[in-house]
Amino acid sequence: MFYRECGVLKETYRQDMAIFPIPLDRWGLGVMLVLAFLVIPFTASDYWLSSIMLPFYCFSLAALGLNFLTGYAGQVSIGHAAFMAVGAYSSLILYGRYGVPLPLSILGGGIFASAAGTIFGIPSLRIKGFYLAVSTLAAQFIIEWVLTHWQWVSGGVFGTVDAPDMYIFGWLIDTPVKKYYLVLCVLILLTVFGKNLVRGQLGRNWTAIRDMDVAAEIIGVSLFRNKLIAFAVSSFYAGVAGSLITFTYYLAANIEEFNLFLSFHLLGMIIIGGMGTVLGSFFGAGFMTLLPIFINQTLLTIMERVPSDIRANSEAIVFGGLIVFFLIVEPYGMARLWQTIKEKMRLWPFPY
């Protein structure tokens, strides 16, 4: 059994347009779901679940959101960490201070982040490229400033809100396994929703705007509407990711976690993983979560003779090098490499 399109006759457009038209993709996805739901939670240690899988999933969600905006719609944002922060703070406040049920609080975090993202997305209607990047940078600083200086937000220590215990309908979510399932379920729901968006009309409009905005508008795509929706959806995903990672992993909303470096990290994830692909967001987030662990635990024990200042910066060096590599050699990232491998197998055994 091989990955191939030959011999698979798609009889209707409906089948051809299915979310995964090729059987082996469906198989692959099935295997991943079994792994994620049934294998990992019962085999991985608590350390792996809570310190690796949780951030991996949350960053995947945030990277996916950024990918909608940057990879699909072509609008750069270097303020996405701040939108995560808005989601984190607002959901914690909704849940902890106002007693809003947890699922609604997480949703609310997404909605507040979405509102912030939409407001800071308004300049994209007039400016693009570098100038838009700078204006989203302003979002990063303004939101950071507001969250640290507005005392109402923390109600005490500036810039910090503790995450209370999580209850869903009276059921305490305390163990790593329970948290893992919570995050996994939200991730899968939002991934399916997002995948449907990008393969449908909205995704086509976004890509059209990215590739040739003037032509898109003349053909009938409203730039105003579609760009703002891109900011809204993108920062909604960031907000939910910020909320989840704070509830399950950081355990307190702290502005330090959502600084400019995280914004750049998220961009790095989608560049390395693959711009304009859903899968690439996961590759990128997985890679960035595993890279530091790999470097710290493996590489450094091998390279004991390397000067310590280089070792301390090795993560940044590898990361930066990879971004440059992908930007120059493979602008579509790991997802495209993966695609190429599949492509090779696709027409097997009749390559031409």
Partner 1 sequence: MNKKREPLLRVEDISITFGRLKALNGVSLEVYPGEVMAIIGPNGAGKTTMLNVINGVYTPDEGRIFFEGMERPLKMKPHHVAAMGISRTFQNLALFRGMTTLGNILVGRSQKMHSNFFSQGIYWGMSEKEEVEHREAVEWIIDFLEIENIRKQPAGMLPYGLQKRVELGRALAAEPKLLLLDEPMAGMNLEEKEDIARFVLDANEELNYTIALIEHDMGVVMDICDRIVVLDFGNKIAEGTPEEIKANPKVIQAYLGTAGG
Residues at the contact surface with partner 1, assessed by CB under 8 A: 12-14, 16-17, 19, 193-194, 196-197, 200-202, 204-205, 207-208, 210-212, 214-224, 229, 276
Compute CA distances 260 → 11, 79, 129, whole Å.
49, 7, 18
- Non-local CB neighbours of 162 within 8 Å, separated by 6+ positions: 92, 96, 251, 252, 253
Contacts of residue 117, defined as CB under 8 A and 6 or more positions apart, other chains included, come to: 83, 231, 232, 234, 235, 236, 238, 239
- Give least dist CB 208 to partner 1, A: 5
282: burial class by Cβ within 10 Å (0-12, 13-18, 19+)?
buried
- Asked whether the beta carbons of 184 and 33 are under 8 A apart, the reply is no
Cβ proximity to partner 1: between 220 and 349 the closer is: 220
Q: Minimum Å distance from CB 170 to partner 1?
A: 29
Between 43 and 196, CB nearer to partner 1: 196
Q: Which is nearer to partner 1, 116 or 230 (CB)?
A: 230
* Shorter beta-carbon distance to partner 1: residue 255 or 334: 334
The nearest distance, CB 203 to partner 1, in angstroms, is 9
Nearer to partner 1, 86 or 198 (CB): 198
- DSSP-assigned states of every residue in 297-311: IIIHHHTTTS-HHHH
The two tokens of residue 126 are 């007039």
How many residues comprise the chain? 352
Taking Cα atoms as reference points, which of 197, 180, 193, 189 lies closest to residue 56?
180
Which residue's CB is nearer to partner 1, number 201 or number 313?
201
Cβ 205 to partner 1, closest distance in Å? 6
Asked if 288 and 269 count as a contact pair (C-beta separation under 8 A), the reply is: yes
Of 217 and 330, which CB lies nearer to partner 1 in the complex structure? 217
Type of residue numbered 284: G
Query: What's the closest the beta carbon of residue 212 comes to partner 1, in angstroms?
Result: 5
**Sequence-ordered list of residues with C-beta below 8 angstroms from that of 346, at least 6 positions apart, any chain:** 3, 4, 5, 6
**How far is 253 from 245, CA to CA, in rounded Å?**
9
CB of 243 to partner 1, least distance (A): 19
Asked, as a colleague might, if the bond just before 307 is cis with ω within 30 of 0, I would say no
Choose between 21 and 320: whose C-beta lies nearer to partner 1. Answer: 21
Minimum distance of partner 1 from residue 218's CB (angstroms): 5
168: its two tokens: 């869903």
Q: Which residue has the tokens 């507005």?
A: 150
Least CB distance from residue 52 to partner 1, whole Å?
Answer: 29
